[in-house]
């Protein structure tokens, strides 16, 4: 899920250019079973789904997973019970909020970062609502800042 900016109707311009064709390239000689086993091996080493995609692109020369296997990385991880309980993007926001909370305990007068924390927490609430509606998070999951700072 890509969140748009809060006070602009855009998502920014950064990001890599994806391959044009939806078919696997002729020079990529990996079979779907090999790619799935690589994904599972990398996940067991503790890599996240996005870092698995980067490793496969950079080290193995696999541009996209879906044209080869017919499934996304998260689908493969879910099938093999390696998908984390909290989605990766939500987890990154939770860690960011806890770091900012820790900073604000030491620097109480930091007004710009107080605002940044409210923006991050609003993103957390919006994203958690999205994942609850999709059924990825349980309905009783709730963001509690005191508990999140321990994570």
Dump pLDDT digits (tens) for 71-104.
999 999 999 999 999 999 999 999 999 999 999 9
pLDDT in tens, 106-139: 999 999 999 999 999 999 999 999 999 999 999 9
- The string over 20-34, giving b where at least 16 C-beta atoms fall within 10 Å of a residue's C-beta and e elsewhere, is eeeebeeeeebeeee
CB 62 within 8 A of CB 56: yes
User: Quick check: is 3 in a domain?
Assistant: no
Report the pLDDT value the prediction gives residue 122, as an integer from 0 to 100.
93
pLDDT in tens, 35-48: 999 999 999 999 99
- Looking at the fold, whether 112 and 133 belong to one and the same domain comes out as yes
User: Quick check: is 5 in a domain?
Assistant: no
Residue 72's domain comprises 32-79
User: Quick check: is 121 in a domain?
Assistant: yes
User: Quick check: is 8 in a domain?
Assistant: no
| pTM (2 d.p.) | 0.79
Q: Give yes or no for residue 150 having a pLDDT over 60.
A: no
Q: Give yes or no for residue 149 having a pLDDT over 60.
A: no
**Of the residues 40, 60, 79, which one is the last residue of a structural domain?**
79
Q: Give yes or no for residue 1 having a pLDDT over 60.
A: no
User: Quick check: is 56 in a domain?
Assistant: yes
Rounded average pLDDT over 57-65: 92
pLDDT > 70: percent of the chain:
87
User: Quick check: is 26 in a domain?
Assistant: no
Residue 23: pLDDT band (50, 70, 90) is: confident
Domain count for the chain, please give it.
Answer: 2
User: Quick check: is 25 in a domain?
Assistant: no
* CATH number of the domain enclosing 94: 1.10.287.10
């Amino acid at each position: 899920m890509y969140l748009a900016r809060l006070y602009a109707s855009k998502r920014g311009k950064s990001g890599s250019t994806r391959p044009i064709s939806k078919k696997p390239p002729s020079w990529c000689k990996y079979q779907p079973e090999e790619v799935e086993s690589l994904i599972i091996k990398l996940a067991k080493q503790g890599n996240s789904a996005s870092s698995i995609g980067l490793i496969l692109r950079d080290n193995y020369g696999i541009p996209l997973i879906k044209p080869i296997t017919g499934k996304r990385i998260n689908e493969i991880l879910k099938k093999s019970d390696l998908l984390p309980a909290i989605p990766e993007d939500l987890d990154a926001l939770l860690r960011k909020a806890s770091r900012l909370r820790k900073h604000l305990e030491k620097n109480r007068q930091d007004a710009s970062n107080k605002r940044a924390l409210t923006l991050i927490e609003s993103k957390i609430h919006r994203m958690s609502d999205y994942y609850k509606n999709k059924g990825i998070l349980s309905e009783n999951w709730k963001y509690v800042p005191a508990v999140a700072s321990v994570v």
